[in-house]
Structure 1
Amino acid sequence: MNAVATQASPATPTSSATDSLLEIRGLYKHFPLAEGFLEQLRFEKGRLVRRNDSVHAINGVDLAVRRGEALCVVGESGCGKSTVARLVMGLLSPSAGEIRYDGQRIDDLRGKRLLPYRQRMQMIFQNPYASLNPRMTIQQTLEEPLRFHHPEWTTPQIHDKVAEVMASVGIDPEWGKRFGHEFSGGQRQRIAIARALAVDPEFIVADEPISALDVSIQAQVLNLLMDAQAERHLTYLFITHDLAVVEHFGTRVAVMYLGTVCELADTRSLFARPRHPYTQALLSAIPRLEDNRPEHVRLSGEVPTPVHLPSGCVFHGRCPHVTERCRQEVPQLIATDDGNRVACHGVEEGRL
């Protein structure tokens, strides 16, 4: 059973607000399996060989997040969603490509040059049980980012701001005296959201923020995020695998498979008319109580390993519409007749 928000989906941004706040261009991230020279040596067929294999987590991702929208990134486990989130926030460095925020390249910034963007960009992590410092009270947890970003503020100013942000997410001020382990998962995630909002950011990366919560709590936290977006004019990069959440929360959707974006579309048209075969398979798996629901698409084969990527389209080994071109040539994201984008030779050739 999936959580469903009880309020309306955010409206599509107007033309005056559709300029990109975040741009990702040609992004790659590879993780080496063996760091040192000796770790790369191994015996194969009686000979000593050097293998420098890497996990190809992200492979040429291009995305743009518009001001005021909630761009949802979806896909199965291991497709690279969380890696994209960590690259955007500077927790990982890209192997290639660039990330621009409000027109300024930020992936190559370090130290004090990156500090202004740390305040404008905040992250909500997946696991509320691990994202709070167990040695700090809730009051200390919420004060810490304020003291760091606003060293000129007085203690009364900080206390007032903490009280304001606690009230905005429905936290009792008395909670400030307690520690994180004294709260449930939903309460901890509210605290984590309050910490992200404390410095008044304009952009938030939410990495599966409700997946570790009970179903009864998921809708509450999701509605809280939607309220914060409306009140504070926030922009979200929302990482999730729950398509029911995407349908109610997202403005646009980017579907990822094995480190690549295979389809990028506004939420309504994606659910009404998915174009990529992988997107069609994903949406057909949503349980629905409708007579005209799409027929369930059963994919054959296994997800290829990201260590040795297949040639051509990364989905060709499981696609029911595969041709020789799919096996040899990597598809590019092309614009469709409805203004969305899809990376599929079949769509480009008019077969799908």
Structure 2
Amino acid sequence: MTAQALSHTETPTEPRRQAARPSDQENAPLLEIRGLRKRFDLSGDFLEQLRFKGGRLVRHQEFVHAINGVDLSIRRGEALCVVGESGCGKSTVARTVMGLLSPSAGEIHYDGTRIDDLSPKALLPYRKRMQMIFQNPYASLNPRMTIQQTLEEPIRLHHPDWDRERVTAKVREVMASVGIDPEWGARFGHEFSGGQRQRIAIARALAVDPEFIVADEPISALDVSIQAQVLNLLMDAQQERHLTYLFITHDLAVVEHFGTRVAVMYLGTVCEVAPTRTLFATPRHPYTQALLSAIPRLEDDRPQPIRLTGEVPTPVNLPSGCVFHGRCPHAEARCRREVPRLVAQADGSQVACHGVEEGRL
């Protein structure tokens, strides 16, 4: 995504966000994630876990530690962007928040109510308030259903008392709002381009009038020119419908223009959380600094990118202490034995780094 393609959307976003909600509600967290952990078992069934070791039969288990103690809060009306390398746990956080995965530990609170332990029936009202846009528009639409049927399905589920005329009118309205001709409802998903399919997926998310949307890399599978159109559509929908976003992406140029705040993840942990302008102007965590230094920029005097040594550790065997210490040029003994916690800074950011906490960085 180029800055030029998005420059016309940068100026109005912040003021319109601030005007969307009353000031007393803007700062109230809509979603809170506390100590979230998710691990996936690699060991197979019970018999596959049995091993002979030292002449004894022992049980051996292995896990992928995808999320490791994530704490995040999202305020009403904002767009929190979660960034990081592939495999850092961004999408796992998104799917766990939406209830598609069950957390191994921790809590998820929505509008003051804990939702991660609710039954499917008790969770149904929150399904209407929380919707998700998936990464791959070619896989997220049912190939056996027309677009009309695809968009009618969530409306009928959450509004069983609506008659056919009202459902049809709602489908036409939401299709028009995302730039899709309502007359195309009789077509199937394979008849549309990737950008059109993603617009349909956005329409499906908006069909039940949610207040919170999780967007899991919704533009990564699209051409650059189409990415700008879809981003503009998401920003317009946010301002018109007072939406709150959890936006998962690896494109830092998108983050700079779309996000209200940014959370940087590395190997299942949150390294830094900061307002977007603060993060891009003065990144504090060494990993954030390396990440931002890799952005291509047309500047003669730009500094050389920070080159990290070593490889990303495996999430099966996590390193002790700070998970970034093996690649960090500022790591010391404390970093190797003690897990850092997010500490609030004077500029409004939160940084999980012993070096920053001790004043070394």
Q: TM-score, normalised by structure 2?
A: 0.95
Give the AA of the match of 2:134. F
User: Does residue 250 in structure 1 map to residue 245 in structure 2?
Assistant: no
CA displacement, residues 108-156 of structure 1 (integer Å, 9 cap, x when unaligned): 0112210100000000000000000000000000000011100000101
Give the AA of the match of 2:252. L
**Which one of 288, 292, 304 corresponds to residue 313 of structure 2?**
304
User: Does residue 164 in structure 1 map to residue 164 in structure 2?
Assistant: no
Q: How many residues align?
A: 352
Q: CA deviation at 1:295?
A: 2.6
Q: CA deviation at 1:18?
A: 1.4
Identity of aligned residues (%): 80
User: Does residue 123 in structure 1 map to residue 126 in structure 2?
Assistant: no
Q: CA deviation at 1:75?
A: 0.2
**Which one of 49, 59, 69 corresponds to residue 40 of structure 1?**
49
Q: CA deviation at 1:46?
A: 7.7
**C-alpha contact 1:186 1:221 (8 A) present in aligned 2:** yes
**C-alpha contact 2:275 2:348 (8 A) present in aligned 1:** no
**What pairs up with 1:88-127 in 2 under 5 angstroms?**
88-127=97-136
**Which one of 328, 342, 345 corresponds to residue 333 of structure 1?**
342
**Distance change (3 Å), C-alpha of 1:46 and 1:242:** farther
Give the AA of the match of 1:222. L
Partner of residue 74, structure 1: 83
**C-alpha contact 2:79 2:258 (8 A) present in aligned 1:** yes
Q: CA deviation at 1:39?
A: 1.6
**What pairs up with 1:125-274 in 2 under 5 angstroms?**
125-274=134-283
CA displacement, residues 77-107 of structure 1 (integer Å, 9 cap, x when unaligned): 0100000000100001100100000000000
Give the AA of the match of 1:105. R
Q: CA deviation at 1:292?
A: 4.0
| In structure 2, C-alpha distance between the alignment counterparts of 1:302 and 1:197, rounded to whole Å | 41
| In structure 1, C-alpha distance between the alignment counterparts of 2:85 and 2:303, rounded to whole Å | 20
Q: CA deviation at 1:45?
A: 7.7
Give the AA of the match of 1:11. E
Partner of residue 28, structure 1: 37
CA displacement, residues 189-240 of structure 1 (integer Å, 9 cap, x when unaligned): 0000000000000000000000011112110001000000010000000000
Larger helix percent: 2
| In structure 2, C-alpha distance between the alignment counterparts of 1:297 and 1:286, rounded to whole Å | 11
**Distance change (3 Å), C-alpha of 1:44 and 1:214:** farther
| In structure 2, C-alpha distance between the alignment counterparts of 1:69 and 1:159, rounded to whole Å | 31
5+ unaligned residues in a row in structure 1: which ranges? Answer: none
SS of 1:7 mapped into structure 2: helix
Q: Which has the higher mean CA deviation after the structures are superposed, 269-278 or 45-54?
A: 45-54
Partner of residue 9, structure 2: 7
SS of 2:317 mapped into structure 1: coil
**C-alpha contact 2:88 2:268 (8 A) present in aligned 1:** yes
**What pairs up with 1:45-56 in 2 under 5 angstroms?**
48-56=57-65
**C-alpha contact 1:229 1:235 (8 A) present in aligned 2:** yes
CA displacement, residues 48-87 of structure 1 (integer Å, 9 cap, x when unaligned): 5421111110000000000000000000001000000001
CA displacement, residues 256-291 of structure 1 (integer Å, 9 cap, x when unaligned): 000000000000010000000000000000000123
**C-alpha contact 1:2 1:242 (8 A) present in aligned 2:** no
**C-alpha contact 2:325 2:331 (8 A) present in aligned 1:** yes
Partner of residue 344, structure 1: 353
Q: CA deviation at 1:42?
A: 3.7
5+ unaligned residues in a row in structure 2: which ranges? Answer: none
